[in-house]
Structure 1
């Protein structure tokens, strides 16, 4: 989560202090919805979905629609669609497509893994760089972190596929805190990004959900996502 508007980051080689889990124990299918706030004011709605699509692959989507303020005025919406395979507990990237639609300035980005190479097209600018085993991208990063926390990790380092290279990102459990969101009140763990000063925080309830119940990021727009509902088939 990424989660879409939050720019939580992109690719992942995965290091954690927890035991490995089998593929059967990782998430297979769910839907989660969020309220999106900017500066504490309602801005939009987000919907995450995970579903198997055959041949061992899964599709993970994050769609955000502006419902208030400038986001609504400009008809802003984002769509992120990831295809991945579970490599242990890591959603290893196969492809990723990002589209920002608006009457002002639309943007598009696409990442495709071809063999041992990542092909990235960023608004018509092409880059390629070596792929790392276990690499994730920014859309699936919060899901990978949620699975790690569920299995006891107190910290995790991911290699995230960016625009021009794989970027290592490190996260750690910083505190246990109570958090209230539309989906309810929870005893959550707060996870902070520690490799850079980015003011990124995510609150997870690992035993209940593989995705955050809340995300806050000041860098890039002072945005917050709060969980409204979560369901499984």
Structure 2
């Protein structure tokens, strides 16, 4: 997989908070580990592991790990690790820290984001100096995207979703549309799903959820970067 694509699955493993119009989700009561197979244009590319751990004092740790195991991704020993720490506030997740690491045989990238909620300020460091900008209530990092959407669906959210997401230099509002879709078959089984599509121009991303069973999608698809897809292999609660 080309380095310039940054293993485009990162777009799937991204983060968002529930908008004020969303139905408030119940605070998570258990952790989990989910495994996915990743393909590009139908060919094996790698594996992804998403996990949630419950911490002390109402804190949570959510990680996304992607390893290239086939094709160019395997030759480059490509891997991506993202870690989010968040709290549960006003019925939804709010980021407190985010760490991103991309590693290949030839290159390494990292990003660290911290949120000072007492001061209402976000600080982002990519090794070239710290950037700061105002935080927004309900804001989360991109790594929490799939999980927060899943919690919203589990609480009966339908229709449009507008979500505040912390990026490099600001908080942007991302837009999604929820619809009924039908049956989907993946390695983990056969599921009746709801489909979520990002509706912002030029941001093609689709995810299929079985919210009565999992807070994460059973399937994802993105055309940008070479027809990347992820399919659920197994999901275990802890």
Q: Same fold (TM over 0.5)?
A: yes
Distance in 1 (alpha carbons) for counterparts of 2:210 and 2:63: 21
Q: By how many angstroms is 1:123 displaced?
A: 4.6
Deviations 1:50-81 (A, max 9, x none): 01121211100011111000110000001001
Distance in 2 (alpha carbons) for counterparts of 1:175 and 1:14: 20
Distance in 1 (alpha carbons) for counterparts of 2:108 and 2:44: 22
Distance in 2 (alpha carbons) for counterparts of 1:147 and 1:11: 11
Could you tell me whether the CA contact under 8 Å between 1:183 and 1:229 is conserved in 2?
yes
Q: By how many angstroms is 1:164 displaced?
A: 0.4
Determine which of 166, 171, 190 is the counterpart of 2:171.
166
Counterpart in 2 of 1:63? 65
Q: By how many angstroms is 1:209 displaced?
A: 0.3
CA-based RMSD of the aligned residues comes to 1.9
Which aligned segments of 4 or more residues in structure 1 are displaced greater than 6 angstroms? none
Which structure 1 residue ranges, 5 or more long, are not aligned? none
Which structure 2 residue ranges, 5 or more long, are not aligned? 1-6
Could you tell me whether the CA contact under 8 Å between 1:82 and 1:97 is conserved in 2?
yes
Distance in 1 (alpha carbons) for counterparts of 2:85 and 2:26: 19
**Greater RCO, 1 or 2 (C-alpha within 8 Å, sep 6+):** 1
**What TM-score do you get using the length of structure 1 for normalisation?**
0.91
Deviations 1:35-64 (A, max 9, x none): 011111111111111011212111000111
Aligned length: 228
Q: By how many angstroms is 1:10 displaced?
A: 4.4
Could you tell me whether the CA contact under 8 Å between 1:192 and 1:200 is conserved in 2?
yes
Determine which of 115, 121, 133 is the counterpart of 1:129.
133
Q: By how many angstroms is 1:174 displaced?
A: 3.0
Q: By how many angstroms is 1:218 displaced?
A: 1.4
Q: By how many angstroms is 1:21 displaced?
A: 3.8
Could you tell me whether the CA contact under 8 Å between 1:13 and 1:160 is conserved in 2?
no
